Amino acid sequence: MMNIAKKNVFLLKFAVRGVRVNAPTFAYKTVYGKEPKTFLFGRTDAPKKIWNGLQVDAGLKDKWLNNLNNLPVEIRSSDEGKSKERPAFIIFRMPEKYDKLHKKMVNELDKNKDIYANSEVGMAGRPRICVANKVKKGDKNWEKWWNSLPGKIDKAYSSVTGKK
C-alpha cells in the first residue's frame, strides 16, 4: 500500500499532466490560475450535514442550497470555503443540450467582479463549470457571496441560453 506522501506526489503528477482533476483542485486552479502546491483531497474532516440526502458542508445554509438546486443546471460539487487553499465554490454542468455553451457561460459569469469562473471536461466526459471566490466561512463578505450566487448563475444561464 502506498503511503500518504508518495500518494500525494503520484496524484499531483497526474494532475499536472492534464488528467482530469477533482473538485477542490479545479476550484483552486479557477481562482489562482495554477495547480496547488500539495494535492487537495476531495473530502475533508470539516463539519458536514445531510441536505436532501447528500452530505454537504455544515455552514452552507439550506436557503442557498435550495436556491442553487432550483437552477436549471446540475450542481456537482460545493465547498463553503475553508481556507486560502480551499476557496468557496460550486461546480455544475449545463443541461447536456447546452454543453457546447460552457465557454460562453464562463465568459458571462466572469462579468461579475466577485466570481472566478472556469470550465473543463469533468470525470463524466462532459464540460463542468466552476464558480469560485477567495472567501471562506467567517469572512465579512462570505454570506453576501453565497446569497447572491444563485441569482448570478441564473442570470448568466438566461443570457447564454435565452431560457429562464
Residues near 139 by Cβ (< 8 Å), separated by ≥ 6? 81
Query: Which pTM was predicted?
Result: 0.86
Q: pLDDT tens for residues 35-67?
A: 999 899 888 889 999 998 889 999 999 999 999
Sketch the domain layout of the chain as residue ranges: 22-161
The C-alpha atoms of residue 58 and residue 60 are separated, in whole angstroms, by: 6
CA proximity to 32, closest of 157, 162, 132: 132
The C-alpha atoms of residue 82 and residue 132 are separated, in whole angstroms, by: 12
Q: In the chain, what's the furthest Cα-to-Cα distance? A: 52
Question: Does 22-161 carry CATH code 3.90.1150?
Answer: yes
CA torsion angle for 4, 10, 15, 16 (degrees, to 10)? 130
CB 116 within 8 A of CB 132: yes
Q: pLDDT tens for residues 76-88?
A: 999 999 999 999 9
The C-alpha atoms of residue 55 and residue 41 are separated, in whole angstroms, by: 16
Residue pLDDT tens, the chain, 164 long = 444 554 455 445 444 445 678 999 999 999 999 999 989 988 888 999 999 888 999 999 999 999 999 999 999 999 999 999 999 999 999 999 999 999 999 999 999 999 999 999 987 889 999 999 999 999 999 999 999 999 999 999 999 999 86
